[in-house]
Amino acid sequence: MTILRLIFQTAVLALGQLWANKVRAVLTMLGIMIGVGAVIATVGATEGLKSYILKEFDSFGPRKVWMDGTVPRSQRGRVSSTQYDLRISELLYIKDNAQTIDAITPMQFLSGTVRAGDEVRTGVSVTGMWPDWHEIEKRQAVQGRPLIWTDVNEVRNVCLVNDKAIAELRLDSDPSGDFILLNDRRFLIVGVIETKAVAQGFPGGGEARTELYIPYTTAIAMQPRDTANFALAQLKEAGGADEAKAELSSILRRLRRLGGEDENNFQVETVQSVIDQVSRVATGITVAAGGLVAISLLVGGIGIMNIMLVSVSERTREIGLRKAVGARPSVILLQFLVEAVVLCLVGGMIGLLAGAGLLLAVAAIPSSPLADAGVPLWAVGVSLGFSALTGIVFGMFPAIKAARLDPIVALRHE
């Protein structure tokens, strides 16, 4: 009780002291203020950016897996970049045998010229795919019907259009059953799907435009090759990313007859593993920020030690008097430690407010990716905790000096 009262009284006294020497106090606390402010802004921004990216990936589909053929590092430049593209036979094998995924589709992209009546659009994005695409992308037909295996097996000239196409090509409001020309071939529109807003930087991102979706087989008939640009699949279970990666890799390695030493000439990525990667990068940045703040707290701590030494020498007589009326050395030690901690905590709090303010200012910029960035509670706790620790560590030497003063010598000071 007595100790708590003493700490409280000392803290109040110390705050009064700070207020009386505002300029000096601010200069002293500058290092800590900058350190804490920087770390709060960095951590807040990193966390904000992370949650923004993760949200985008989430909208992209957390169960999504994509597969692609790649040229191994050792063969780069010596083989064509399409050498190891995924083969349809491989995808069919995976479709029939893989246990960890429940849907798969190759993705074949073409660019086409579309004509509907008098309207002509060039450079229209055309995607060739299997019916599983609807399930993987969660995009069902809102009008008409989805793509079906018969369309694929019979290499039909049918297509789905997005709702943007209806506007751009001035199609009927329910265009199912109408015909359009794609690269001068007649295609029957069988259904309409919603245009999905995909963030910039992701495949299909940016401004929504006319899109056509056709059977995969039809697409390669128009642009002969038996490989896919890449393939999409869907995890059977959301948490099964690692298992799926392992299974798909082992199937592909077997199919491609890769020996134990051979590098993969394909890659299997899950959204989950990208999310993990983003989280790792964010953690890395946070740790680096922590290192920076440690350095600035060190610098700030030296300032604190200096000012506390000045304070001890300025108040030598007061220390002598307090000792004369019965303050034990340990109590004097405590008093100066509390003062140093208060100084550091006040500096830390100012830095916290400054960092949070900076973050809010950036977040307020229109369409900023930091729109919902906030300061995580743990960062507040950690920075204030480290500020207090700085006070204790760097306040210790001056406090010991004060505690050891001889009362007579102290009272005779000046």
Shortest distance, position 411 Cβ to another protein, whole Å: 7
Contact pick of 55, 185, 280, 328 for another protein (by CB under 8 A): 328
Helices (H), 61-148: 88-97, 132-137
Contact pick of 326, 366, 367, 377 for another protein (by CB under 8 A): 326
Question: Of the two residues 23 and 325, which places its CB atom closer to another protein in the complex?
Answer: 325
Q: Which residues pair with 105 in a beta bridge?
A: 232
Residue with tokens 């306040």: 395
Question: Of the two residues 18 and 382, which places its CB atom closer to another protein in the complex?
Answer: 18
Question: Of the two residues 196 and 315, which places its CB atom closer to another protein in the complex?
Answer: 315
Give the range of 1-9, 33-41, 101-109, 303-311 binding another protein by CB under 8 A.
1-9
Structure tokens given for 231: 């393939």
Structure tokens given for 260: 């134990």
Contact pick of 74, 325, 366, 367 for another protein (by CB under 8 A): 325
Question: Of the two residues 326 and 366, which places its CB atom closer to another protein in the complex?
Answer: 326
Find the helix or strand (DSSP H, E) in which 214 lies: strand 211-215
Shortest distance, position 403 Cβ to another protein, whole Å: 9
Spatial distance between the Cα atoms of 291 and 38, rounded to a whole number of angstroms: 11
Question: Of the two residues 306 and 330, which places its CB atom closer to another protein in the complex?
Answer: 330
Q: Contact between 16 and another protein (CB under 8 A)?
A: yes
CB atoms within 10 A of CB 245: 20
- Cβ-based burial of 367 (10 A; exposed 0-12, middle 13-18, buried ≥19): exposed
Q: Contact between 316 and another protein (CB under 8 A)?
A: no
Question: Of the two residues 16 and 77, which places its CB atom closer to another protein in the complex?
Answer: 16
Q: Which residues pair with 64 in a beta bridge?
A: 234
Give the range of 143-151, 225-233, 318-326, 338-346 binding another protein by CB under 8 A.
318-326
Q: Contact between 322 and another protein (CB under 8 A)?
A: yes
Residues with Cβ < 8 Å from 247, sequence gap 6 or more?
98, 99, 100
Name which of 109, 213, 129 is nearest 163 in CA terms. 213
